[in-house]
Amino acid sequence: MRVLFGIIIGVALTVGVAFIVDSQAAGTSTTGSGSVVAEHRQMVNWDVAGENMRMARDRIHGAWVRLSQKVAS
């Protein structure tokens, strides 16, 4: 049980830290002379991750509905 709890906490912390770092991303940095120093890209494409989570949630919901209908009948 502790291992499962540790895995859940680890995943939540990893996703949370990635979200915080990505939300603080400022795009490109410039020097006083106007030259671009470095571009800070996001670690995660949150649009794709959100769409994948929506599809997974829909699949799980559909499987749950089918299973509960089988059990009920």
pLDDT at residue 38 in the model: 61
pLDDT tens digits along 4-14? 999 999 999 99
- Write out the two tokens for 53: 């989570």
Tell me the three state secondary structure of residue 40: coil
Half-sphere exposure of 2 (CA within 13 A, CB side): 0
pLDDT tens digits along 20-63? 988 887 555 555 566 655 666 777 888 998 999 999 999 999 99
**Rounded Cα gap, residues 44 and 52, in angstroms:** 13
Q: Which residue has the higher pLDDT, 37 or 1?
A: 1
pLDDT at residue 71 in the model: 93
Q: For the whole model, what pTM was predicted?
A: 0.56
